[in-house]
Structure 1
Amino acid sequence: MSEVFGPKPFGSGPGDFTCPREVNVTTATSAALRRIQLGNALSAFGNGFTVPFTFIYVSQVRGLGAGTAGVVLATLAVAALIVLPFTGRAIDRRGPVPVAVVGTLLAATGSLGLGLSGSEPLVIAAAASLGAGVAVVQPALATMIVWCSTTATRSRAFATSFFLNNLGLGVGGLLGGMLVDTAHPSSFLRLFAIEAAMFLVLGAVVAGTRLPKAPRLGEAIPGKERSASGNGWRVLLADRSMVTLCVLGFVMFFACYGQFESGLSAFAVEVTRISPATLGIALAANTAVIVLAQFVVLRLVEHRRRSRVIAGVGLVWTVAWVVAGASGVVHGHHAAAVAAIISTYALFGLGEAMLAPTVSPLVADLAPERMVGQYNAAFALVKQLALALGPAVGGVLVGAGAYDAYLVMLVVCSLGISVIALRLGRGLTAAQDSPLRATRVVAQSVPKPQVEETLPA
């Protein structure tokens, strides 16, 4: 990792020359990136303490019922949808640091409020603050990562961030499960207090981070006009590649993340007939694959065309849904059914590891320099829409017992990911679709200086 994020040594090879000032700038930028990723990991660690237990806390511990718990979860999503359209413009006008700090304060207030609130209005208000804060923080952090990376390092930067997020969530969830006790509401207050503290730590880390004065995107798309004019949303909607990527993102999040806690888990319990404890093992397998395979996958995909890697994710997830369907067919053979469900979650993890170094860097490389925040926020908005509609559609189909229709829908969505990704690739430049390969080709094409030889008289 150090050879990617660290500065190139001064005079490291024949003909190499890196001025001391450039080394210092690169070192400072690398340090800023590490701070951002560490703070992000600590925030995810805090999230892990509460995310698996929010529904149980509101419905059972506070005694507000399943209906109110559902409203709380919906409020988290709705609050995000409300603030995201304005977040991108704020990031581009004010910079990502102050926006991220405001987001962490909102999130910390909401998290602590959830732990202290005992009435329905207060719980819903706290959820709104938490949802809005998290929604603001995500595109701000993504923009900070873009500012602290280059074309050559961006894929690894986002992959590292994704790896640390999943590691933090997994460890936090494990420790939260050890601390929680439904018979003692104070144990839940402890969980929400830890989450709030981690948000404040993230805010402090971000506030103390010194970023470059401008995003480092100029080399990403040689020859492309990087300064767009006109209304931000109008410019974005006129960018055919970005619109296609947003459609692709919606299908991806709908077919995978949007099903984890709704349709897929219900299918596993009701059709495959596995126990909730086994479902927890399957979720752990998903996280384990991401944590263990992320950098192996990164090595395999970072020199390949991003559009084809994303198309490969669609095929991997198609196999995952077929395996899930097979688990329902062989539910009479318990061991085989359990293995199939665990394999399904593991395959989803493999696909997620393939997406981490491709999709977010591609959003950055499509964005004009003055609209990085707006592009990140727009993609986050699409993601949030998919995460809101995915559980709703999946829950309705599974609740109605339409399991065949449910699986067919998701197999079609997964194949659609491959089709849309290949279509997207046809509209991308070489530098956008495979930046490392394009950079290598450009470097090889630069003529070496000719030295005139002087012959003795």
Structure 2
Amino acid sequence: MTTAMGAALRRIQLGNALSAFGNGFTVPFTFVYVSQVRGLGAGVAGAVLATFAVAALFVLPFTGRAIDRRGPVPVAVAGTVLAACGSLGLGLSGSEAGVIAAAGALGAGIAVVQPALATMIVWCSTTATRSRAFAMQFFLNNLGLGVGGLIGGLIVDTAHPSSFIRLFAIEAAMFLVLGAVVSTARVPGAPLLAAADRPGSGSGAGVAGGWRALLRDRAMVMVCVLGFVMFFACYGQFESGLSAFAVEVTHISPATLGAALAANTAVIVLAQFVVLRLVERRRRSRVIAGVGLVWAVAWIAAGVSGLVHGSHTLAVAAIISTYALFGLGEAMLAPTVNPLVADLAPDRMVGQYNSAFALVKQLALALGPAAAGVIAAAGAYDAYIVMLVVCSLGISVTALRMARHLSPVQDSPVPVARVVARSVRPESAEPERIAG
């Protein structure tokens, strides 16, 4: 990795950390703010949270093409401005229509920024450094969210709406800071993108192929299936099904639930780079399969916590272990899945691939809580645990099957420098492309 690439990557990571820090100020308090402080009720608050997901699903199908045509920097800057407007709008709006419109702008802005940042990280890294770069991004995201949430909790006061306006103003400012930092980063891939857009470059077909070309990529389709199941069975359950199970079945207090969430963050922050050293030179398919096993154990631990009614201490330990094991699995995924998506992407479709994976993620995050809500309302918690254990084991099986469609370099990257990998199948006689 060149000095210019390293400098640009550090800028991107700094901006990303500050944005996550600002996000942490509002994420834990948005529901309470809309329903209680603004007095709009739980129904409107739920609509606001749903709007985040719907807005993301609306813009992501078009985001990848914009990134590949215009470059990730202008797309990321546009996303940060939109997100800042949405955040500030949430803080200032007092009507139902106002908060829902602001939530749509915020959700769309964040959805645009995520694949743009991921593409910038790809262009500023090599095969040897990409896993570490994405692990650092994940680490800083969680650290920023945690610190922001902690400070936000000290500022917020439900008796004073102005304290919430202050939180949303801080978040908006952090988005603008991210935009400013990103706009000044000299992303090494940007000149290549601009050159590829010139007439006669011959690269337009890759973009024009768009979704059709991506759907013909068997390995990428399997990664998307894996992504959906992973986000449905883990991330989509944190604030919905798992929390409901912990309170209704395990009978833990809200304070203990907070401790369990803290255990999840602590494992990610403390173990991320230890885990990175253990997994970065191992086959990605096997690492993902290992995540499925870890999460299967986590869901079994959650089930056990609901069965040991005679020992509340054991039940609490089991549910905290569930959250901690999820954190371990997340730490294993961070340096694995996003770099794999990048290495599967053909030339000029890195943004499309990143956006497709982000779209799958958002879909799972929208459907996960909805499915958990239906099951919780029916009280079918036994079926809920069984379903998620099966989903976790399905991750392991699918990951091992996916390995058949990966080239050796895609599945087990070696420390050689390249900008982005062309998608090459194991059965192809074409040699691996390595760009300096």
Do residues 138 (structure 1) and 114 (structure 2) align?
yes
Offset from partner CA, 1:193-242 (integer Å, 9 cap, x none) = 1100100000000011111145999xxxxxxx998475211100000000
Structural mapping, 1:198-209, within 5 Å: 198-209=174-185
Match of 1:56 in 2: 32
Matched letter for residue 413 of structure 2: P
- What is the Cα deviation at residue 57 of structure 1? 0.4
Is 2:67–2:351's contact at 8 Å kept on the other side of the alignment?
yes
CA distance in 1, matches of 2:381, 2:416: 45
Do residues 270 (structure 1) and 240 (structure 2) align?
no
Do residues 26 (structure 1) and 5 (structure 2) align?
no
- What is the Cα deviation at residue 329 of structure 1? 0.6
Is 2:122–2:130's contact at 8 Å kept on the other side of the alignment?
yes
CA distance in 1, matches of 2:189, 2:262: 40
Find 1:430's aligned residue among 408, 412, 434.
Answer: 408
Structural mapping, 1:439-450, within 5 Å: none
- What is the Cα deviation at residue 437 of structure 1? 7.0
Query: 5+ unaligned residues in a row in structure 1: which ranges?
Result: 1-24, 218-224, 440-457
Do residues 93 (structure 1) and 69 (structure 2) align?
yes
**C-alpha distance 437-200 of structure 1, shift in aligned 2 (>3 A):** closer
Aligned to 1:329, the other structure's residue is in SS state coil
Of residues 286-295 and 392-401 in structure 1, the stretch that sits farther from structure 2 once superposed is 392-401
Is 2:65–2:207's contact at 8 Å kept on the other side of the alignment?
no
Match of 1:249 in 2: 227
When the two structures are superposed, what TM-score results if normalisation uses the length of structure 1?
0.87
**C-alpha distance 330-138 of structure 1, shift in aligned 2 (>3 A):** same
Matched letter for residue 292 of structure 1: L
Find 1:119's aligned residue among 95, 105, 119.
Answer: 95
Is 1:45–1:172's contact at 8 Å kept on the other side of the alignment?
yes
- What is the Cα deviation at residue 290 of structure 1? 0.3
CA distance in 1, matches of 2:273, 2:205: 34
Matched letter for residue 379 of structure 2: G
**C-alpha distance 437-212 of structure 1, shift in aligned 2 (>3 A):** closer
Do residues 285 (structure 1) and 278 (structure 2) align?
no
Matched letter for residue 311 of structure 1: A
Structural mapping, 1:324-363, within 5 Å: 324-363=302-341
Structural mapping, 1:300-315, within 5 Å: 300-315=278-293
Query: 5+ unaligned residues in a row in structure 2: which ranges?
Result: 194-202, 418-436
Matched letter for residue 409 of structure 2: A
Do residues 212 (structure 1) and 188 (structure 2) align?
yes
- What is the Cα deviation at residue 146 of structure 1? 0.2
**C-alpha distance 130-26 of structure 1, shift in aligned 2 (>3 A):** same
Is 2:126–2:416's contact at 8 Å kept on the other side of the alignment?
no
CA distance in 2, matches of 1:256, 1:105: 30
Is 1:33–1:145's contact at 8 Å kept on the other side of the alignment?
yes
Offset from partner CA, 1:56-94 (integer Å, 9 cap, x none) = 100000000000000000001000000000000000000
Match of 2:44 in 1: 68
RMSD: 1.7
Q: How many residues align?
A: 408
Which runs of at least 4 in structure 1 moved beyond 6 Å after TM superposition?
Answer: none
Percent identity among equivalent residues?
83
Find 1:172's aligned residue among 148, 152, 172.
Answer: 148
In terms of Rg, which structure is larger? Answer: 1
Structural mapping, 1:180-195, within 5 Å: 180-195=156-171
Matched letter for residue 269 of structure 2: V
- What is the Cα deviation at residue 28 of structure 1? 1.1
Matched letter for residue 40 of structure 1: N
Match of 2:421 in 1: none
CA distance in 1, matches of 2:320, 2:281: 30
Match of 1:4 in 2: none
When the two structures are superposed, what TM-score results if normalisation uses the length of structure 2?
0.91
